[in-house]
């Protein structure tokens, strides 16, 4: 089969791979329909890489497909079942899993990072990494189940209530999903701060009440939210000081964007004196079922987030579209791929 294979930092190759065979007892074989490209794929392909990927691994960790074969212990799973994938299946047995923090599992073998992922027609993976999803959900929408489950986790961390005001820094796919879910949860206003005009437009389509460039936000924020926002999200990964400037006394800050090299200078006393709560939110936390319910219901409408649908041969252009900021979410259609 044809696959997008990570060779070395900066090098992703479309290569021939043997079809996976010999499933372990706990594994399923998935025929992939659609696989999203992620900001973390762009980081993994940067030189030097923003986070490590194993050489010769098939990339792709945001995907949907159908079960076409199952290991000896997986009789309960129907052949033909449609599933989305948690690319970070937790072991259930380590100290962090047993304390209810699967996102911090000590034994994760991330799919599309250290074991083969979804940028190929077929992918074998542990059955516990899969969640059923209805056929009615389009393949490109089903492919965003994983990032949506991350955002559902972040929304839970924020404890946002109807009537709370919210500011989201970053209008990429994660920021726009926050805008949609905060709006649906009754936040007012929901504000997105994002430099790219096209992304601001999509944030508004997703349910944001306002979208500002960073400069316009600095000028306008005191008029709009003189006491600050109840909930502030950093969906970029390096804007902790900006979130503290935007949050109200007693408010909550959720840090979900990831940038391992960012170092912030903050006045710690601002947090102490104003009773601000800071929450880190990393990947998912039993939030796939909620994300899938949202996609199956189709409300809020998240379709503006998928801006490009390409073939496997076009994966490099897809990554370039993400690098340039022109795309929000790019999905790769694997149906009909050799
Ligand atoms: Zn991702
Ligand atoms: Zn574990």
- Residue with more model confidence, 44 or 210: 210
Among the bound ligands, the one closest to the CA of 63: 1
CATH number of 2-144+302-333, picked from 3.40.50.720, 3.40.50.280, 3.90.550.10, 3.90.180.10: 3.90.180.10
CA of 26 to the centre of ligand 2 (A): 16
295 neighbors 148 (Cβ within 8 angstroms): yes
CA of 104 to the centre of ligand 2 (A): 7
Assign 239 a pLDDT band (cuts: 50, 70, 90).
very high
The pLDDT mean for the chain works out to 96
CA of 267 to the centre of ligand 1 (A): 32
pLDDT digits (tens, 9 = 90+) for 240-266: 999 999 999 999 999 999 888 889 999
Residue 69 and residue 77: Cα distance in Å, rounded?
9
pLDDT digits (tens, 9 = 90+) for 284-330: 999 999 999 999 999 999 999 999 999 999 999 999 999 998 899 99
CA of 61 to the centre of ligand 1 (A): 6
pLDDT at 322: 93
What CATH number labels 148-280? 3.40.50.720
CA of 172 to the centre of ligand 1 (A): 12
Give the domain ranges of the chain.
2-144+302-333, 148-280
Does residue 52 have a pLDDT over 90?
A: no
pLDDT at 262: 86
CA of 288 to the centre of ligand 2 (A): 17
- Taking residues 78-91, what's their average pLDDT? 97
CA of 240 to the centre of ligand 1 (A): 21
CA of 40 to the centre of ligand 1 (A): 6
Among the bound ligands, the one closest to the CA of 107: 2
CA of 124 to the centre of ligand 2 (A): 20
pLDDT at 51: 77
- pTM for the full model? 0.96
pLDDT at 158: 98
Does residue 282 have a pLDDT over 90?
A: yes
CA of 38 to the centre of ligand 1 (A): 4
pLDDT at 338: 76
């Amino acid at each position: 089969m044809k696959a997008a294979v990570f060779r070395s930092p900066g090098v992703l190759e479309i290569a021939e791979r043997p079809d996976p065979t010999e499933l372990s007892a706990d594994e399923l074989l998935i025929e992939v329909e659609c696989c999203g490209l992620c900001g973390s794929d762009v980081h993994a392909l940067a030189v030097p890489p923003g986070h490590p990927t194993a050489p010769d691994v098939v990339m792709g960790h945001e995907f949907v497909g159908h079960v076409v074969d199952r290991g000896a212990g997986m009789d309960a799973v129907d052949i033909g079942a449609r599933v989305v994938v948690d690319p970070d299946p937790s072991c259930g047995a380590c100290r962090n899993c047993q304390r209810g923090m699967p996102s911090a599992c000590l034994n994760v073998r991330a799919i599309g990072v250290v074991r083969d992922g979804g940028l190929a027609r077929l992918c074998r993976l542990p059955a516990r990494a899969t969640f059923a999803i209805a056929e009615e959900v389009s393949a490109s929408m089903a492919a965003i189940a994983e990032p949506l489950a991350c955002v559902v986790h972040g929304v839970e961390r924020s404890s946002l209530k109807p009537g709370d005001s919210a500011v989201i820094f970053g209008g990429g796919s994660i920021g726009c999903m926050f805008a949609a879910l905060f709006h649906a949860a009754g936040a007012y206003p929901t504000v997105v701060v994002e430099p790219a005009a096209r992304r601001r437009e999509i944030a508004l389509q997703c349910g944001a009440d306002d979208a500002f460039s960073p400069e316009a936000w600095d000028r306008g924020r005191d008029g709009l939210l003189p006491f600050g926002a109840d909930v502030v999200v950093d969906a970029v990964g390096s804007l902790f000081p900006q979130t503290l400037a935007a949050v109200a006394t007693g408010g909550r800050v959720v840090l979900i964007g990831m940038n391992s090299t960012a170092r912030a200078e903050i006045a710690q006393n601002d947090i102490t004196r104003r009773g601000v709560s800071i929450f880190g939110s990393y990947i998912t936390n039993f939030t796939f079922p909620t994300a899938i319910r949202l996609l199956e219901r189709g409300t809020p409408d998240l379709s503006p987030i998928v801006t490009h649908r390409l073939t496997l041969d076009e994966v490099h252009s897809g990554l370039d579209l993400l690098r340039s900021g022109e795309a929000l979410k790019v999905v790769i259609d694997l149906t009909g791929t050799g």
